[in-house]
Structures are given as C-alpha cells and as structure tokens.
C-alpha cells in the first residue's frame, strides 16, 4: 500500500516563531515580579545585617552622657556598675528593665527612674529614703524611714551622733519585734521624738521600748520619762510641766494606764528620792 497523505496543513514557520516569542514574553512578564520579590527578600536580611553592624559599631550610638540625680548616700559608680551601665557601651545594649531592677535593689533607693535618650545618653533619677530613726532590730542596728520601714544596717559610728537634737533618735528594746509589729512601734517612737523636740525637752539620748511598759525616754542630762503606750502628747505635756518645776528630778512617770492624770516623780537627792505626787494634786499635768 502506498503512504497515506495527511490532510493537516502545516503552520508557516513565521507563525510558529511569533507564537514562541509570544509565549516567552508572557512567561517573562509573569516571572519578572516573582524574581523582583525574591531579590528583595534576599536583600532585606543582608540590609538588616549591615544596618545592625553599623548601629552596634557606630560611635554615634556610644553612651557618652550619663546623668545620675538624687543620690546622696548611694555611690554613683557602684550604682552604675550594678546596673551594668558604663561609658562607651552601645545604647542599644542597655537593658532598661534590668537596669531599673538593679537600681531598685540599692537599700537607700526608694523610687527609681531610668530613661535612655537616643542617640547616646542615659538619665537615672533616684529618690532616696530619708532616715528618721536608728533602731535595734534582730542582730544589729537599722535605719528606719518616716513611714516606719526598715532601710538598711546602721553602724555604731552612725549611732554616736544620733542623740543630738537635730540628729536621729535611737530606739532600743525592739530587737525581738516581729516584722508585722515593728513598723507601728517605730512610727510611735518617731512621733514621740518629734513631739519632745517641738516641746523643747532636753536632747534625747534614747527611746526604750518595753513590751509591757511601753516607751521610756532617756534624756542626755540623765532624766527619764516613762511615756507609756498611748496618748503621748498629753503625757509629755504633763511631764514637761513637772520637769520645769525642779531641776533635781531624776524621773517622771506619766504612763499610768488607768489614772491618766497620775504623775510619779523621783528626785535625785536621797531625801526626795522616790516621792510621789498624789493623784489629787496632779490634775491637769
């Protein structure tokens, strides 16, 4: 049999070429955006990396201005060391929260503010506790603030000048107090000291606290005033009036719980020692 001749007409070569070019154009048109996106995605990490390298190595971001305000008892150098902050470090390496936490751990720090000012500055502002008394607590001496909160340990050198009229009162007899009761007792002691200072008593050497008797104030001239546990202002006014009448008084007891106006006076001289003012004659004292 002879070869059967196909009826399909072949496309001209020119048409086939143009058709291939069109497909190529269409493919390129579709691929170009993808290539651009992929190129950008590839370049972004590289750009980020080099930007990071520039930031962390640039002197423009090197810490050169450190401002510490409000410190009196806190050493600035030690404070910054505990905060892991030093001149020349990159500001982006400062962990603000960690630095803030480290600063708050300083015993004298009451309130702390830490702020980074870009490109190269750090501001640290401290509000310190103000000591209002030195107290016996547990195994040693402690500073206490005006809110009755324990601050930190006090040395015997701090205690030497604490009894002066403008100094800090020393509160003894409180070493065995538990933390729950201590703040209230310390606040009472500070209140007594302030009232005595305002009333013009002789400089206070010591305030002693007794769980049963309450507070006793010992003056630098040796006189003792037993104040008790409450109504401190009224009791101190009575003691002040009694002390103003005779300089030979050794002690004044105004702590009677049931007879608020009762005053017992002890004299320095042996002939007067142990005398007691009758309750009927001590009204208003």
| Residue 206 within a domain | yes
> Within this chain, do residues 151 and 177 fall inside the same structural domain, yes or no?
yes
> Within this chain, do residues 195 and 222 fall inside the same structural domain, yes or no?
yes
Give me the mean pLDDT over the 253-271 stretch: 79
As for how many domains the chain has, the answer is: 2
| Residue 90 within a domain | yes
> Within this chain, do residues 87 and 177 fall inside the same structural domain, yes or no?
no
> Within this chain, do residues 269 and 206 fall inside the same structural domain, yes or no?
yes
| Residue 147 within a domain | yes
SS3 assignment, position 216: strand
Residue appearing with tokens 């800090």? 168
Give me the mean pLDDT over the 68-97 stretch: 93
Residue appearing with tokens 């702390």? 112
> 54 in the Ramachandran plot: left (φ > 0), alpha (ψ -120 to 50) or beta?
alpha
Which CATH number is 83's domain given? Answer: 3.10.20.310
Point out the least confidently predicted range of 70-74, 162-166, 225-229. 162-166
> Within this chain, do residues 79 and 211 fall inside the same structural domain, yes or no?
no
85/131 Cα distance (integer angstroms): 28
Q: H or E element: which one contains 38?
A: helix 13-57
Dihedral angle sign, alpha carbons of residues 194, 196, 198, 200: negative
Average pLDDT, the chain: 80
| Residue 189 within a domain | yes
Which CATH number is 178's domain given? Answer: 3.40.50.11690
Examine the fold and report which residue of 95, 128, 161 is the final residue of a domain before the chain moves on: 128
Residue 101 near residue 84, CB atoms below 8 Å: no
pLDDT of residue 277: 43
- pLDDT over 50 (residue 77): yes
- pLDDT over 50 (residue 260): yes
140/124 Cα distance (integer angstroms): 32
pLDDT digits (tens, 9 = 90+) for 49-73: 555 555 555 677 889 999 999 999 8
Point out the least confidently predicted range of 98-107, 155-164, 189-198. 155-164
| Residue 37 within a domain | no
The CA–CA distances, whole Å, from 69 to 41, 65, 72, 152, 206 equal: 47, 13, 9, 21, 34
Residue 268 near residue 225, CB atoms below 8 Å: no
> Within this chain, do residues 148 and 245 fall inside the same structural domain, yes or no?
yes
Structural domain that includes position 97: 60-128
pLDDT of residue 271: 44
pLDDT-based confidence at residue 259 (cuts at 50, 70, 90): confident
| Residue 32 within a domain | no
> Within this chain, do residues 186 and 226 fall inside the same structural domain, yes or no?
yes
> Within this chain, do residues 81 and 186 fall inside the same structural domain, yes or no?
no
pLDDT of residue 42: 65
3-class secondary structure per residue, 89-127: CEHHHCCHHHHHHHHHCCCCEEEEEEEEECCCEEEEEEE
Buried/exposed code over 245-277 (b: 16+ C-beta within 10 A; e: otherwise)? eeeebebbbbbbeeeebbbbbbeeeeeeeeeeb
């Amino acid at each position: 049999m002879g070869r059967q001749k196909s009826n399909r007409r072949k496309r001209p070569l020119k048409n086939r070429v143009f058709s291939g070019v069109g497909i190529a154009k269409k493919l390129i048109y579709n691929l170009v955006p993808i290539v651009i996106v992929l190129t950008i995605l590839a370049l972004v990490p590289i750009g980020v990396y080099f930007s990071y390298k520039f930031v962390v190595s640039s002197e423009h971001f090197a810490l050169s201005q450190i401002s510490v305000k409000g410190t009196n008892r806190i050493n600035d150098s030690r404070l910054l060391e505990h905060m892991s902050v030093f001149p020349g470090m990159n500001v982006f390496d400062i962990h603000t929260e960690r630095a803030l936490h480290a600063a708050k751990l300083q015993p004298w720090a009451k309130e702390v503010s830490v702020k980074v000012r870009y490109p190269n500055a750090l501001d640290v502002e401290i509000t310190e506790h103000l000591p209002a008394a030195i107290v016996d607590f547990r195994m040693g001496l402690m500073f206490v603030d005006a809110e009755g909160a324990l601050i930190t340990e006090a040395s015997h050198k701090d205690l030497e000048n604490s009894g002066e009229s403008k100094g800090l009162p020393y509160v003894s007899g409180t070493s065995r107090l538990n933390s729950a009761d201590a703040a209230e007792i310390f606040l009472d002691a500070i209140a007594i000291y302030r009232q005595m200072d305002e009333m013009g008593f002789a400089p206070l050497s010591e305030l002693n606290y007794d769980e049963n008797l309450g507070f006793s104030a010992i003056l630098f001239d040796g006189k003792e005033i037993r104040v008790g546990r409450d109504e401190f202002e009224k009791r101190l006014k009575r003691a002040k009036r009694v002390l103003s009448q005779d300089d030979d008084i050794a002690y004044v007891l105004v702590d009677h719980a049931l007879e608020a106006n009762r005053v017992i006076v002890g004299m320095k001289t042996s002939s007067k020692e142990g005398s007691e003012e009758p309750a009927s004659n001590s009204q208003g004292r």
